Amino acid sequence: MSANAPIIDETHDPALRSWVQSERDCVDFPIQNLPLGIFCRAGEAPRGGVAIGRYIVDLAALAGSGLLEGEALAAAEAASGPALNPLLALGTATRRALRRRLSALLREGAGERTAIEPLLVPMAEAEMHLPARIGDYTDFYVGIHHAANIGAIFRPENPLLPNYKHVPIGYHGRASTVRPSGTAVIRPLGQTKAPDADVPSFGPARRLDHELELGLWIATGNELGSTIPIAEALDHVAGLSLLNDWSARDVQAWEYQPLGPFLAKNFVTTVSPWLVTMEALSPFRRAQPPRPENDPRALPYLWDEGDQASGALSLTLEVHLSTAAMRDAGLAPHRLSSGPATNMYWTLAQMVTHHASNGCALMPGDLMGSGTISGPDDGSQGSLMEITRNARNAIALPSGETRTFLEDGDEIVLTGRFEAEGYRAIGLGECRGTITPARG
């Protein structure tokens, strides 16, 4: 069965509760979520785990417990190493088997509680790693309001290029600099040229920015030269994380023509460490908002009625900023933006299908970014460049400080929450990064 048709089963029951006590007050990781990740404790080897409340189920230990069989056992064994790639390669049915068995083992009244309890690791004792070994990373540009806003800054005479509504635009990023949440963001060095300068200069970037994005993890890939039909595209998606594609806007302005993003983007990309599976997201899939009447219909290879009926997500995304002074004063982080993921012009399936449409081989563990997801109104923009109108309007913070772009010591936290009537809400966890001074 195609993943373009969401499957609702007993694991999504909103009445389900777990015997893991912290699950009751954990907004991101109730038993209806069960996301995948890679963790370790001090002195131990990284291995796969599943989040439940404020604990992690050790999948390597679970695989040896005798509590699993069949595809669920195969899934846990595949996730017992330092990356989830072997599990992702097994596909949707194997992930679903593990999810259903874990749901049965962790729910209230489960007879296996005493056998599972020793396999739980407190999150407070764990270090999180990237979910997968990333062979390649591609960043798209599917947030149409962000594209229009940025285009108006860089190309006021022609903000949204004519190809935007025909083709999902993207560029290849740098897999080697993708890091998990909590990794320091070292201010990049770069070549820039001020509008009133005769020649460029080199030094620390002055206009450092965040970008609010979703990260899409590839499960099963495709052979070189083959394509992925749009109706089957979500069968190739393991799940989602949050993604912050940090950007040096002053470097970007000087270097991006004619070939697009380069050093302004590839110094670091931060992802939240938990992969929320497509199986967990079934209740939160919704119809893609219809395109404006005068917009072109996507070409046939990018159009599927099933994808249009359930290709969007009932997800609210938020960005918070705290400065070093705010943290010292005990002030709460300042919310920069909040908005729905339905501001994506292209769906996840369209991104995957287009990426493989020329025969490009996608591999298990490959990462795709959605591009910055912004809304049309103030308070919903996913980057400081949009919020401050390229530094023309400074943000006033509770500490009395102001910001146009990020300064050393600033911390950005991305969050996302899935909500749908009749179902228990789940989250993506945090995607967190703090700016540290440039080196060299």
Active site residues: 146
Q: Which residues pair with 403 in a beta bridge?
A: 395
DSSP 8-state class, residue 281: T
Closest CA relative to residue 150, chosen from 432, 327, 382: 382
**8 A C-beta contact, residue 426 and residue 33:** yes
Is the C-alpha dihedral spanning 228, 232, 238, 242 positive or negative? positive
Could you give the CA distance from residue 335 to residue 319 in angstroms, rounded to a whole number? 6
Could you give the CA distance from residue 337 to residue 206 in angstroms, rounded to a whole number? 22
Could you give the CA distance from residue 252 to residue 164 in angstroms, rounded to a whole number? 20
Could you give the CA distance from residue 238 to residue 89 in angstroms, rounded to a whole number? 9
Closest CA relative to residue 60, chosen from 88, 33, 39, 30: 39
Tokens of 293: 């009447």
The amino acid at 320? H
Could you give the CA distance from residue 205 to residue 203 in angstroms, rounded to a whole number? 6
Closest CA relative to residue 308, chosen from 292, 285, 341: 285
19 Cβ neighbours under 8 A, 6+ residues apart: 106, 107, 108, 109, 110, 113
Question: Which helix H or strand E contains 241, and what residues bound it?
Answer: strand 237-244
Closest CA relative to residue 39, chosen from 204, 208, 243, 182: 182
Could you give the CA distance from residue 93 to residue 118 in angstroms, rounded to a whole number? 28
Could you give the CA distance from residue 257 to residue 143 in angstroms, rounded to a whole number? 21
**Coil, strand, or helix at residue 34?**
coil
**What are the angstrom distances between the C-alpha of 295 and each of 84, 98, 166, 290?**
40, 42, 9, 10
- Phi, psi (deg, nearest 5) at residue 431: -120, 105
